[in-house]
Structure 1
């Protein structure tokens, strides 16, 4: 389930350089290699609870585009009900602030959380995600190289997309994605989300201190996904001292956390490059 750390963290500084387009019915932040290289594959980011407009998620899309030859899309999957950015400060005040102010911060947190979860609980939001990927696969074709990278809320959707989900192209069932990456997924069910259901290779970036995935669950995830036969063998990397949300909302002023977030970026791109032969 969702946890306080899903709404905690740090807002990064920087100006995203992509453009806003409408893609398969959704507003989408789109970006590509800064030096003008022709993209050789596509990454679709399924964001954390703060959604497609959150600057951290857009900067991450830019980083992915620059680190590989990728076109990167960050669609509006949340129907206008992403968690508001103010919740980052609100959660900090709720946990660390004055006891007398806690009722106010609690009410403010609920005001941000309730619309998000009512609109974007997984069973309700996943049809929107699937529809986008079906349209993308049909438009790009069976031979297109499509990857999905999901974080927190979006991580669960990547796992569901890896469950032998196909669309018919010229009479042939074609997977919606070729490869997946998930950073500290929320709402994850172990082993149900990764056992016999997973038919696409997925890499995991997990925080050692992620309260939603204790050590025994991480060990179980590793045992299952790394034992899958090629070409769907997965990968699990545990980042020491990192908590939930570190891939997206790490505090850039803290060297250890910032370096772990950068390492997770490298892990993701290396994973996609490996499977696409780039």
Structure 2
């Protein structure tokens, strides 16, 4: 998959600009629910129009500097725009708010986050989905967690829930203070054997949330504080996932309820699948990526002129 990913981007680098114009027309003619497309574009990019926008980088001068997957995920869609268009971008697990509109992978859900324009970055890691063939009713009646435990909220979770009878919790990194927390690697397929999947935010969002919501298990998480292209801020507790308190004090009550009411758990799974489904439509995703950048350039005072000189588009 990694070789295929980089090979695809190598081919894009060699593709004549005129073919991107043709491809853009083809993508924009995709027969989809236009209201849904507009809603998502406005969610990602809705900052105040800025005619004095400076922008730190021209598309023509965009260069790779660390975070290779971020670079290529953005580059893939910059090909569709003039090389003289300017933009700001920030790569990595960072969620601060810049003074000018800036492309980010993640942003805080609460507060004025409009200058953080969400884009689909690091998608190979975050946008993975599963074809879960195990029925919810056939899974183990407990929750599972595997992951690195370094942030305070993850440490708090392990202190509260490690060895809880309804949780199989283990950390993937070593711990001098709590060596007992380290457990063997557990594959996604192995985790799918459990009825409940615990998704904990790390430096920003939980990287397992997308595939967990595409499974036949139920996601359990405290209230989410960050969001990405997946629009975590629109997810609803009790509808798409089970929400527990930050101190996990209501975990047992919540999980027992859904164990005793399996039809309610399966309703959450169905809602999660419905939410995930559009994100699995590659052509729809391409369309929304293009339209998000288009709106970014428009709001920053850079009119998208389809008759621009192709020489200015080159990259």
Which range, TM-score by smaller chain?
under 0.3
The normalised TM-score by structure 1 is 0.26
**Higher strand residue share:** 1
- Higher RCO structure, 1 or 2 (CA under 8 Å, sep 6+): 2
TM-score, normalised on structure 2?
A: 0.24
